[in-house]
Structure 1
Amino acid sequence: MTGKAKLSVRIDLPNGGRFGPGKAALLLAIDSEGSISKAAAALSMSYPRALKLIDEMKADFAQPLIASSHGGASGGGSELTDLGKRVLTLYGDVTETAETASMSSIEALCGLQG
């Protein structure tokens, strides 16, 4: 077997939105890169796709997860809001708990592969 099985968690929110590994990765990339365009490039994601995901997250949560400033003397950029950081922390907690709780079952399932 090459590689290791990985659990992917997507949360279907009560308002019909979804939050999962793709949006979490985008938030993490924005946090580390300081801009939406750099984050999209780091993820090999198109800028329009990144904007679409950001718009979805904006609609899914009570407040924005990302704060952006336009270019100019300071060059602009984007950063996570306190809510964005909290969403990432909670999502990390959910995925870690799910991975830990399901580890033996995932290993057993992988043992059934040919």
Structure 2
Amino acid sequence: MESTLAKKSPGRLTIRSKIWIADEDGGVVFGAGRLRILRAVEEQGSIHLAAKTLNMSYRAVWGKIKATEDRLGRPLLTRKVGGTKGGGSELTPLGKALVERFRHLQTLTETAADTLFQDLFIDGL
């Protein structure tokens, strides 16, 4: 006699993870959101245009940049005051390094998580 509860075969399983860097008080220093913000500033050349591109307010974008700068004690952006050519912002060497290294950290973390998940949950069950 067959059980009335049919065994369901799972669909393709995947792992999802999210990483960020926090200070000793748990405050966000850097993560995917700040990565998107710095990339947008780098591409657009200004906080104002980056905010528009990200559908965020200038205040929200500026607040996240400022919080990270305060927690690191160093600037992420060089700001140019407006004038005939207008103002703008560009990433400092620290800002560029954070973007590059965080992307690298994301890649390494995803690769390691994928490998562990495959070993423990796909091959191991």
TM-score tier after normalising by the smaller chain length: 0.7 to 0.9
In the alignment, is residue 68 of structure 1 matched against residue 79 of structure 2?
Answer: yes
Instruction: Give the drift of 1:85.
Output: 0.3
* Structure 1 residues 109 and 53: CA distance shift in structure 2, 3 A: farther
* Structure 1 residues 107 and 50: CA distance shift in structure 2, 3 A: farther
State which of 19, 29, 39 in structure 2 corresponds to 1:9.
19
State which of 44, 60, 76 in structure 2 corresponds to 1:33.
44
Q: TM-score, normalised by structure 1?
A: 0.81
Give the Cα–Cα distance (whole angstroms) in 1 for the partners of residues 49 and 120 of structure 2: 38
* Structure 1 residues 71 and 106: CA distance shift in structure 2, 3 A: farther
State which of 53, 56, 64 in structure 2 corresponds to 1:45.
56
Give the gaps of 5 or more residues in structure 2. Answer: 1-10
Instruction: Give the drift of 1:90.
Output: 1.3
Contact 2:40 2:50 in 1 (8 A): yes
Give the Cα–Cα distance (whole angstroms) in 1 for the partners of residues 121 and 16 of structure 2: 11
State which of 78, 89, 96 in structure 2 corresponds to 1:78.
89
Give the Cα–Cα distance (whole angstroms) in 2 for the partners of residues 47 and 110 of structure 1: 43
Contact 2:15 2:114 in 1 (8 A): no
Please identify runs of 4+ aligned residues in structure 1 that moved more than 2 A: 4-8, 13-17, 104-111
Instruction: Give the drift of 1:95.
Output: 0.7
Give the gaps of 5 or more residues in structure 1. Answer: none
Q: Which amino acid aligns with 2:19?
A: V
Instruction: Give the drift of 1:86.
Output: 0.7
Q: How many residues align?
A: 109
Q: Let me know the Cα RMSD of the aligned residues.
A: 2.4
Greater radius of gyration (CA): 2
Identity %: 33
